[in-house]
């Protein structure tokens, strides 16, 4: 079922355009009267309270898109909901969040979030970095979901390439010898990386 939620006074150019198209099957169907009464007030809802199969931001999107608040919340839940909802805004068809660093990021969920995390971790611009850096790359790409750090940590833990590589320890570093300088340009030093080749 496709659901369009339009704010009062807003133009819907797509619906206007679709309504002007000719119907090639116009004579195939019997004309029926449209029943515009809805028996349930929850028919417009994207989610029911406590349903885990829906998006994490469905209630926030309902509030911003249609000024609809889920019934059955306790006073504490309502207080938290209205405290959190002020950091989000709806720009059809996406929900955006104004994050703590004042950057606006698009809210994502489900498989889209997994695909974004995968691309930031081991995509062409990835690099199999740690969980925090991978999450930072997602934020820098302009996306948000509340469990991003936990999801990035789980991805790094399950990444075969990352688990085989291990961490770089101090024993892997080359020793550095400091050059003591008395006067500027008194001592010149060159650092070599790797074996010296004869020409």
Q: pLDDT tens for residues 92-133?
A: 888 899 999 999 999 999 899 999 999 888 877 767 888 898
pTM of the model: 0.55
For the CA atoms of 46, 49, 52, 55, the dihedral, rounded to the nearest 10 degrees, stands at: 40
State how far the Cα of 131 lies from the Cα of 134, in Å rounded to an integer.
5
Average pLDDT over residues 40-66: 64
pLDDT recorded at residue 67: 80
Q: Could you give the angle at the alpha carbon of 91 between the alpha carbons of 87 and 94, nearest 5°?
A: 85
Please state the rounded mean pLDDT for residues 70-79: 87
Q: Determine how many CB atoms are found less than 10 A away from the CB of residue 116.
A: 21
Give the per-residue pLDDT at 56: 87
């Amino acid at each position: 079922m496709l659901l369009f939620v339009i704010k009062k006074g807003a133009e819907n150019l797509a619906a206007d355009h679709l309504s002007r198209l000719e119907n090639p099957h116009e004579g195939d169907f019997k004309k029926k009267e449209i029943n515009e009464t809805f028996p349930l007030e929850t028919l417009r809802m994207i989610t029911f309270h406590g349903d885990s199969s829906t998006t994490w931001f469905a209630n926030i999107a309902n509030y911003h898109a249609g000024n609809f608040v889920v019934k059955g919340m306790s006073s504490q839940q309502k207080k938290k909901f209205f405290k959190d909802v002020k950091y989000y805004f709806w720009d059809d068809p996406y929900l955006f969040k104004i994050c703590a660093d004042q950057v606006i990021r698009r809210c994502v969920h489900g498989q889209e979030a997994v695909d974004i995390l995968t691309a930031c971790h081991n995509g062409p611009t990835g690099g199999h970095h740690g969980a925090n850096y991978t999450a930072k790359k997602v934020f820098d790409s302009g996306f948000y979901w509340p469990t991003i750090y936990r999801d990035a940590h789980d991805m790094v833990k399950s990444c075969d390439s990352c688990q085989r590589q291990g961490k770089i320890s101090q024993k892997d570093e080359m020793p550095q010898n400091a050059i003591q300088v008395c006067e500027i340009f008194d001592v010149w030093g060159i650092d070599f990386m790797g074996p010296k080749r004869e020409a």
